[in-house]
Structure 1
Amino acid sequence: MMSQQQNDVITRVGKGTPAGQLLRNYWQPVALAEELPSERPVKAVRLMGEHFVLFRDEQGRLGMLDRDCPHRGADLASGRLEDGGLRCAFHGWLFDVNGQCTSTPGEPAGSTLCKRIKQRSYEVIERAGVIFAYIGSGTPPAFPHFDCFAAPDEYTFAFKGLFECNWLQALEVGIDPAHASFLHRFFEDEDVSDSYGKQFRGASANSEMPITKVLREFESPEILVNPADYGLRLIAKRAVDDTHMHVRVTNVVFPQAFVIPMSSEMTITQWHVPVDDENCYWFAIFTSFNKPTNKQQMREQRLELYELPEYTSRKNKRNNYGFNLAEQQSQTYTGMGFDINVHDQWAVESQGAIQDRTKEHLGTTDKGIIAYRKLLIDAIEKAQAGEKTFMLIDEAEASKMTGPASIDGIAPIDRWDEYWKESDLERRNAAPWPAAAQS
């Protein structure tokens, strides 16, 4: 258990908070590229309780500014894209992507006021269909050369969704290998040929055994947690018979992402990004190793559940996540449908807006969560002391961070450790793009 003060330290992310200070030192996903449509690429963004406006100017350059106009505080997200920048609709003051005011049309001819006005601006960059922003001070860290960033655009797909709860409990569901045997349990297996774009529905690698069967019949994994240069590697092992073992390798990327297997040919890299203390977005980049992603199919699958423009789930706490008793008795463990994102959303939102960790009792299968919290607390303390924290890397360090391996398959029981490494290398060697193995 932890004290309320300790819980507040690791969950609260507003300006000036310890965790907020830490997270501001890292790139944060703030929008999907598709959220800046060509007809008016302007979007209001809320990140860690602060308000920004994200836009793409007429030359295609990305910019992100504080949302309140420095003249009299009007909303720049309602501004007009014209004359090389974003113009406030209140008095016509114009700002470029660097925040420099370039026009104050209400001032007398010859006025130099605009030269002295600059709105605070932030570095933004688009990677793999996601727009990242850096709202900290100083030089932002380099991006690790992970698969999601190394793969060509046609081999990736990006999406997001809103969870109405604190970012930390949302992240922790993704670094908990034990929950899938219950939360995501399906009582019947389905044709794995229909599993494209759906997690926990295909066959385990090197096997015809559906992952649904593995999770359902072998519910008590042995979990190993190993330190990695990017965070943690988690390995969940389930003995399926005297000679074979199911091995699932996942990764925690500090400070708030994880890399997990989607299928034998696809991985998911996912961030949990605080909107404020009680809401967060998950941003996911799906990376394919064998063929270009079917972006249209994957987007349509997700839009069956998520509503635009806020990417909110149609199944949520206001309709009990679509719970159906007959389904719970015969088809799924939760009775909340077949989309695992709904299961995860129920699990983390049911803990409350901010989980009360003073009441929890952690067990052996929570060792990954325990290890991550130690990393987080250590980094918070270092940030408060003005010291360099984990994963604040330069380009030389970033270039060495490739992969990471993320595998789900059936291995010979006496060679499980060699198996996942060999399977990862085999998949990379066969990839049509340069998928570098972890160095």
Structure 2
Amino acid sequence: MSPDVDPVESHPAMPAEADVVVIGGGIAGVSTAFFLRRKGLRVVLCEKGRIAGEQSSRNWGWCRAMGRDHREIPLIQESLRLWRRMDELTGGDTGFRACGILYLCETKAEMDRYEPWLEHSRLHQIGSRLIGADEVRALLPGLKRPVAGALYTASDGRAEPARAAPAIAAAFASAGGTVLTDCAVRGVETEGGRVSGVVTERGPIRARAAVLAGGAWSRLFCGNHGLDLPQLKVLGSVLRTAPIADGPDTSAAGSDFAFRRRADGGYNVAHGGLSTVDLVPDSFRLFRPFLPALRAERKGLKLRLSGRFLDEWRTPKRWALDAVSPFERARVLDPEPDGKLLDYAFAAFRASDAAFAGAREVRRWGGLIDVTPDAVPVISGVPSLSGFFVATGFSGHGFGIGPGAGRLMADIVAGDDPVVDPAPFRFERFSEGRPAVIDGGF
């Protein structure tokens, strides 16, 4: 069961042409479309299902700089600057609040493991710091579990996933952009080795550029054009509670649970230390590029074999642009959450704080996270196909980093000076013959 997401009205007419077509209506796609439109370009945003129907509405709702891979820090700092202004920029309600985030530590050894990351915080003036148990309890006054301290960043925040991308998409439409929902893009067309348009299920749109912001679908889309994008999927499982009186405003994560307060007074709850990975055919095809990540993150991954193996085995890898595509056969990825993982996390959540003891679950859901071998996104043009750009592989960081990623992608497409250095996010890094570098962010 998916979260309730604010609806976004689809444009009634099918445009014949645009300057840019953005493929995918998640947080990265709508942000890219929004900032391209602010540059005065004619932009069409195509979504095969509904805006924010997949992981962009199913994530925790955190917007954090703390613990980022050092390559992402300038981008998340730009994104947080945008989050603080997003309601003003869109005229909507994204729910952003600078509530602070805590990583709880049960032992001094856990605190010591965070110490090296503080150098990144000092270099970029993020303001993260290690705090003792007394300060933790001042932020979480009802905390019942023993703690040695925490890594804390007061400037980090939260937003409402079910509101944010729809608010940005609505602002894009109000500014003259075109939003098409239930409109899958089957592929791109080319002339003379460069993009000349896209083919949708409703017909073609001429355009000089196309941006793929397809989340978990991006590898499949690229593969149909002979482009090898190494990307796998991780299952995220989240539940929400009914409103809780007198609960803490600060977001926090421990080894077995994580939470953030919702605008409705309830909480989103997830497991703080484990993610579920379904083994699929691509798990074996991409074993070598993902091996460094598997070694680095093995304690945080719950591997399993499920029905998704056969589902992905049966999914066509190639299709003609005049034929029904896989994106039309499955409009919205709505995977079952990992029930055992959520049961464990919810029990730990309820036991962790006096305010949570009587918490009542309202709904739970799953979402598929797009992951790259180095856990850093692709925000880049594709050298072998001029006019084709990719923004994907956000590896569980996409909601918080989405506005900054959209602004950077818009700069790249428009040929403007990029807001941050785009080199770490280049598409071609995976074909350079070097093993993936795992930064050790968390």
Q: Which of the two has greater strand per residue?
A: 1
TM-score interval w.r.t. the shorter chain? under 0.3
Tell me the TM-score normalized by structure 2.
0.24
Which structure dedicates a bigger proportion of its chain to helix? 2
| Alignment TM-score, normalising by the size of structure 1 | 0.24
